[in-house]
Amino acid sequence: MIFPFPALTRGLTNLSAILDKAAAYAAAKKIDAAVLAQTRLFRIMHPLSRQVQIACDTAKGAAGRLAAIEIPKHEDTRPHCRNSGADREKRWTI
């Protein structure tokens, strides 16, 4: 059986780098990070914040199911673009 952990870790690490770049861009252009978090690339897509939630939930769900443990629940109330790297690390750790 091939375990998806390296691919999930790589994907989340890349996502974290992209979010850090987005936060730096928003700060440089004086754009509210909440505006970027609610941005859609196309009108039928979910906003960025929801896409980040889906990516995190998919990774933690896959890891939890493979490890046969209860999948941790995290409140999805804050826009992820404003979360620090430490907050994202906490969400991704089971």
What is the helix (H) or strand (E) element at residue 12, kind and residue range?
A: helix 5-28
What are the Cα distances from residue 29, in Å, to 24, 25, 62? 9, 6, 37
Whether residue 79 has pLDDT greater than 60: no
Confidence of residue 87 (pLDDT cuts 50, 70, 90): low
Average pLDDT, stretch 75-80? 59
Domain that holds residue 27: 5-92
Confidence of residue 73 (pLDDT cuts 50, 70, 90): confident
**Residues of the chain above pLDDT 90, percent:** 31
Number of structural domains the chain divides into: 1
Confidence of residue 81 (pLDDT cuts 50, 70, 90): very low
CATH of the domain at 63: 1.20.120.450
